[in-house]
Structure 1
Amino acid sequence: MTVLAAAIALIGSLFFALGAALQQYEAVGSSKPRLLTLLRKPRWAIGGISILIGGGLHIFALSAGPLTIVQPMGVASLLFALPIAAALHKRKPTRMELMSASVVAIGLIGLVLLVPPHDGPTYLSPQGLATLFAVSGVAAVALWAGSRIASPAGRAALLATSSGVLYGATATLVRVLVDGGWNWWYLLALPVPALAALAVLQRAYAVGHFGVSFASLQIADPLTAVAFGALLLGEPLPTGVAPIAAAALAAAGTVALARTTPLERNA
Structure 2
Amino acid sequence: MTVLAAAVALAGSLFFALGAAFQQFEAASGKPSMRALLRRPRWLLGGLAILAGGALHIVALGLGPLTVVQPMGVASLLFALPIAAALHGRRPARQELVAAAVVAIGLIGLVMLVPPHTGPTSFSPRDAVILLGVSGIAAVLLWAGSRVTGLAGRAALLATSSGVLYGATATLVRVLVDGGWNWWYALALPIPAFLALMMLQRAYAVGHFGVSFASLQIADPLTAVAFGALLLGEPLPSGILPILAAALAAGGTFALARTTPLERTH
Report the equivalent of 2:157: 158
Q: Deviations for 1:106-164, whole angstroms, at most 9, x for unmatched residues?
A: 00010011000001110111000000001000000000000001100000000000000
2:156 pairs with 1:185: no
**1:2 paired residue number:** 2
Partner of 2:218: 219
Q: Which amino acid aligns with 1:34?
A: S
Structure 1 residue ranges without an equivalent (≥5): none
1:30 matched to 2:30? The reply is: yes
- After superposition, where does 1:58-207 map in structure 2 within 5 Å? 58-207=57-206
| Matched letter for residue 170 of structure 2 | A
| Cα distance in structure 1, aligned partners of 2:120 and 2:27 | 40
What is the alpha-carbon distance in structure 2 between the residues aligned to residue 63 and residue 185 of structure 1? 28
State the distance in 2 between where 1:174 and 1:34 align.
27
- Counterpart CA distance in 2 for 1:151 and 1:243 is 29
Q: Is the 8 A contact 1:29 1:208 kept in 2?
A: no
> Structure 1, residues 30-88: CA drift from partner, whole Å, max 9, x if none?
34x32221010000000000000000000111111111111111000000000000000
Question: Residues of 1 paired with 2:199 and 2:123: CA distance?
Answer: 26
> How far did 1:29 drift?
4.3
Partners in 2 of 1:127 and 1:180 — Cα distance?
A: 15
Instruction: State TM-score, norm by structure 2.
Output: 0.99
Q: Does the CA contact (< 8 Å) of 1:118 and 1:235 recur in 2?
A: yes
Q: Distance in 1 between matches of 2:204 and 2:134?
A: 24
- 1:162-181 C-alpha deviation (Å, 9 max, x unpaired): 00000000000011011111
Q: Secondary structure at the match of 1:237?
A: coil
Q: Which residue of 1 aligns with 2:238?
A: 239
What amino acid sits opposite 2:198 in the alignment? A
Whole-Å separation in 2 of the counterparts to 1:183 and 1:35 = 29
**Aligned partners of 1:29, 1:207: CA distance in 2, in Å?**
10
Structure 1: which amino acid aligns with 2:97? L
Q: Deviations over 1:178-226 (max 9, x none)?
A: 1111111111111000000000000000000000000000000000000
Q: 1:66 and 1:117 mapped to 2: Cα distance? A: 12
Aligned to 1:252: 251
Distance, in Å, in 2 between the alignment partners of 1:72 and 1:151 is 31
For the 8 Å contact 2:30–2:265, the answer to whether it is kept is no
**8 Å contact from structure 1 (residues 157, 213) kept in 2:** yes
Specify the SS of the correspondent of 2:75: helix
> Which residue does 2:262 correspond to in 1?
263
Letter in 2 for 1:94: A
Are the counterparts in 2 of residues 34 and 199 from structure 1 also a CA contact under 8 Å?
no
Instruction: State the superposition RMSD in angstroms.
Output: 0.7
SS at match of 1:72: helix
Indicate the SS of the match to 1:182: coil
In the aligned structure 2, how far is the partner of 1:245 from the partner of 1:128? 31
* In 2, Cα distance between equivalents of 1:82 and 1:56: 22
Residues in 2 aligned to 1:143 and 1:217: alpha-carbon distance in whole angstroms: 13
- Calculate the TM-score normalised by the size of structure 1: 0.98
Conserved? CA contact 1:171–1:225, under 8 Å: yes
Does the Cα contact within 8 Å between 1:2 and 1:69 map onto a contact in 2? yes
